[in-house]
Structure formats: structure tokens, C-alpha cells
Amino acid sequence: IFIMKLLVILLFPGLITSCGGDSSYGLPPKLLLVSFDGFRADYLKNYDFPHLQNFIKEGVLVEHIKNVFITKTFPNHYSIVTGLYEESHGIVANSMYDEATKKHFSESNDKDPFWWNGAVPIWVTNELQENRSSAAAMWPGTDVSIHNTTPSYFMNYSHSVSFEERLSNITAWLSKSNPPVTFATLYWEEPDASGHKYGPEDKENMSRVLKEIDDLIGDLVQKLKMLGLWENLNVIITSDHGMTQCSEKRLIKLDPCIDHSNYSVIDLSPVAAILPKINVTEAYDRLKNCSPHMHVYLKEDIPNRFYYQHNNRIQPIILVAEEGWTIVLNASSSKLGDHGYDNSLPSMHPFLAAHGPAFHKGYKHSTISIVDIYPMMCHILGLKPHPNNGTFGHTKCLLVDQWCLKLPEAIGIVVGSLLALTILTGLIIIMQNRLSTTRPFSRLQLQDDDDDPLIG
């Protein structure tokens, strides 16, 4: 029996490691999910991040995260924790209106579970597991009772709570709670706020802001090391969207095209949600030629690639501004940076970095979708994912307990096989030649054979 066990262990090492999923036996895996709002993917290339680069050196980096349309804060944060497109999780904008119930939603009026109950975020699933709890130092939805459940530990949203306090409280919860906190979130408003204010092309101001972000990442790592959490905790640092440069000179004014009494604006820029008070076709006709710098869609004609159509909270007409353009009614705009645009634009993409026992060390990956993060997090925590739009396979290369063929390896295998084949062929030819030299007449015979077709 001992020998059989040994054989099983030798033959199927994957079976055994995939059950544990964590190097520290007995302890359940833990995950801290961090978002720095509006962290555009290429900030990493264009600015210095010594602390973040150290974190990446010992972990993994995904250079681009393709996020979901519309590329706004609440919708994308909810896609990260549900793996769903916006039309499926129901948080389709930062400002919403539901015609059937006449309810309004905004960033400062977001606590009605009605808006959130279309999906089950990962902290709720984790909270319902025996002997596990969740904690949140803010993240859209974590202070709302979704499916009658909040994280065991959370903060009501307030932008005036410092990063230091959020960090200090979330790490205290991660280290001391019973049942243990196994999933935690940490949210910070920058560099989004400064990106809007200065515009991403203001190198001077943005490098100051981004250095502050990097210092916060340094504080995070130091704190986790000090508390002895660093080695066993999985940490994901990511964001909801990027940022692009706007200008006073790139305004799309609606007032000259359609009388403001003819419709309600549920959301304005860069994706306007229009609820007409007049015939929809008529409103559409007035808007469709309003500006060459925006697309005007009837709800039923919204491109499939946006996965942004099948929800009552999506209004009958949406206007999508071209990158860098701002939709206004008549006034001017003071924003120098914005996001919300087409999710295929690289400027709208955030990044993802991760460190911990679940992740490889020193591995770089080019791109995944924002909805792929959810099944990966469920895998790390050993949770059964709810139906979602992500693909676990897309993140296998990031994880130590998964087998994945990386591109360089694949090329290596192909080149290696070709080389081996060439050598083998060479050897066979040499052997044949050797053989032929030992048989004096074989060459002559071969030549005879070669001549045959010519004769025939």
C-alpha cells in the first residue's frame, strides 16, 4: 500500500498540489484586492515606480487589462468582483435611472441594494463560506447590503479617510479576526482625481501624483512585512480604467441640436444616456448629425462588442464621444482628463500586478480582460464562481498551480523539435551512407534506380 501511495504521488503530483493551492498547510488562502482608481496602463512605462516595480519583480504583471464599456468607476469595479459585463451585473453607469421604479442612482446615492442585487460580488460568496469572512477598506458596493450581506468588516464610503487609516484598518482585520478574513479590498481615489484635474499629459503634476501613489505602495508592502502577512497573503494591485487628455477646444454641444425640454439627461459625458420625452426616432434624428465627433446609437443598435444593451437601465439613446471629446449642453467644461470612452482604446485600460504564494515570480503577460480577474480570484480562494463572462484559462499563466504553455516556451518546443528532427534525419543519412560504403555495389544500384523514371 505504501508503494502504491508513493506511485500515486510520483505520477500525479498535480492532483495533490491543486487541492492545497497554498504553500502553508492548513491555513486557508487569503487575498487582498487593491484598486488605485484611474491608473492608466502606460503610466507604468512613462513614469518611475520603484516600489511597484519591486513588487512586480517578485510577482506577475499584466500590462493591459481590457476593461468593460462604459469605462467608468462603479461599473468596472463591479465587473472586477463579479466577472460580469455591465449589462449583466446592472451597474451600467455612475448615474442611472430605472424607469419602472423611478429610482435614481448616483455616486452619492448608491446604497439601495436594488441596484446591486443583479449579481453576487465575491466578498458575499466568501462571507457565506464556513469559517471565513470578508473585509473592505472601501470599494464600490462594499458598504451596501447586497443579497442581505455586507462584509463582516467594512467602512462607509468617505473620501476624507486617509490611505494610512484604510491600510491600517484593513491589515488589522486581515491579521486578527476570527473567523479569519480571507478576502479583503482596499480602494484609493488617486490617480483618478488628479488625472481629471491636470490631464494625463501634464507630466510635471502627474509625476508628483504618481510618485505619491508609488510611496503608498511602498507603505503597503512594508506594513504587510511588518505584520508577517507578506509571505502568505496574495495581493492584487489593479485599477478600473485609464484616463485621456481633454480640452476646452473639444466640446460637443447638444443644445444647438435638440431642445433641452425634449429629453432627460441621465448621464452626460463621455457617454450620454438620453431618455427622450418626445418620439424616440425624432430625438434620434435631431441628435444623429449633431457632431462628427460622437456616435449616436439607438439602444437596439449599440455594437455587440460593447456588451451594453440588454438591461432596462440602459436608456433608449446613447451618445459616445470620440476619444478626448466632452459632451456638454451649452456651457464649457473644466475637465482636462476623462474616461468612460470606448473600451478598445488603450488609454482606457488599467494594468494588474500580483504577488503572493498563488502567483509566479517575475512573469509578464500582455493582456487579459477585466472579467477574467473574478474566476482567477475564486480559484485562489477555492470558491465556486457564479456564472460569469470571464475565462479562467486566460489567467493560468499567472498561477503557480496551473500548467500553461507560455509563448517563448511554445516557440522553444517547436524549434527544439525541428532541431531534433533535423539531427535525427542527419543521423539517418549518415548511417545510410556508412551502410552504403560497406556495401560496394549499393551506390551503383541506387543510381540505376534513379535513372529508371527517365527511361520510363
Q: Per CB under 5 A, which region of 38-46, 223-231, 372-380, 397-405 contacts Zn ion? A: 38-46
Residue 145 as a binder of ligand NAG (CB under 6 A): the answer is no
- Shortest gap between Cβ of 140 and Zn ion (angstroms)? 9
Pick the closest to residue 369 from 63, 14, 67 (CA basis): 67
- Shortest gap between Cβ of 427 and ligand NAG (angstroms)? 52
Residue 155 as a binder of ligand NAG (CB under 6 A): the answer is yes
Catalytic-residue membership of 73: yes
Residue from 279, 312, 334, 442 binding ligand NAG (CB under 6 A) = 279
Cell output for 330: 451649452
212 binds, among ligand NAG, Zn ion, none (CB under 5 to 8 A by kind): none
Residue 110 as a binder of Zn ion (CB under 5 A): the answer is no
Pick the closest to residue 90 from 125, 137, 141, 139 (CA basis): 141
- Shortest gap between Cβ of 200 and ligand NAG (angstroms)? 13
CA angle 340, 141, 353 (to 5 degrees): 65
Pick the closest to residue 159 from 116, 188, 181, 195 (CA basis): 188
What is d(CA 363, CA 400) in angstroms, rounded to the nearest whole number? 11
Residue 332 as a binder of ligand NAG (CB under 6 A): the answer is no
240 binds, among Zn ion, ligand NAG, none (CB under 5 to 8 A by kind): Zn ion
Residue from 262, 333, 391, 436 binding ligand NAG (CB under 6 A) = 262
Residue 290 or 373: which CB sits closer to Zn ion? Answer: 373
Residue 449 as a binder of ligand NAG (CB under 6 A): the answer is no
Residue 140 CB: number of other CB atoms within 10 A? 26
Residues in 381-440 at the binding interface with ligand NAG, rule: CB under 6 A: 387-389
73 binds, among ligand NAG, Zn ion, none (CB under 5 to 8 A by kind): Zn ion
Residue from 5, 10, 26, 131 binding ligand NAG (CB under 6 A) = 131
Look at the block and give the residue holding cell 440602459.
314
How far apart, in Å, are the Cα atoms of 24 and each of 17, 227, 356, 408? 11, 17, 12, 31
Residue 330 or 422: which CB sits closer to ligand NAG? Answer: 330
Helix (H) or strand (E) holding 187: strand 181-188
Residue 192 as a binder of Zn ion (CB under 5 A): the answer is yes
Residue 231 as a binder of ligand NAG (CB under 6 A): the answer is no
Task: Say if residue 377 is exposed, middle or buried (CB neighbours under 10 Å; 0-12, 13-18, 19+).
Answer: buried
Residue 22 as a binder of Zn ion (CB under 5 A): the answer is no
Residue 165 or 231: which CB sits closer to ligand NAG? Answer: 165
Long-range contacts (CB closer than 8 Å, 24 or more residues apart) made by 400-408: 400/357, 400/358, 400/359, 400/360, 401/17, 401/18, 401/21, 401/358, 403/14, 406/363
Residue 129 phi, psi (nearest 5)? -75, 145
Q: Per CB under 5 A, which region of 37-45, 126-134, 396-404, 412-420 contacts Zn ion? A: 37-45
Residue from 57, 104, 176, 260 binding ligand NAG (CB under 6 A) = 260
Cell output for 378: 475564486
Helix (H) or strand (E) holding 425: helix 407-438
Residue 73 or 311: which CB sits closer to Zn ion? Answer: 73
Residue 278 as a binder of ligand NAG (CB under 6 A): the answer is yes
449 binds, among ligand NAG, Zn ion, none (CB under 5 to 8 A by kind): none
Per DSSP, the residues of 88-144 read: HHS---SSEEETTTTEEEBTTB---GGGTTTS--HHHHHHTSTT-EEEEE--TTTTS
Residue 211 phi, psi (nearest 5)? -65, -40
Cell output for 396: 493560468
Catalytic residue among 73, 82, 185, 326: 73
Which residue sits closest to ligand NAG, CB atoms considered?
387
Look at the block and give the residue holding cell 544500384.
445
- Shortest gap between Cβ of 375 and ligand NAG (angstroms)? 12
205 binds, among Zn ion, ligand NAG, none (CB under 5 to 8 A by kind): ligand NAG
Residue from 88, 149, 239, 343 binding ligand NAG (CB under 6 A) = 88
How far apart, in Å, are the Cα atoms of 132 and each of 229, 365, 392? 17, 31, 23
**Which parts of this chain interact with ligand NAG (CB under 6 A)?**
84-85, 88, 130-131, 154-156, 161, 165, 169, 198, 204-205, 259-262, 277-279, 281-282, 307, 329-331, 387-389
**Which parts of this chain interact with Zn ion (CB under 5 A)?**
37-38, 73, 192, 240
Q: Which residues are catalytic, by number?
A: 73
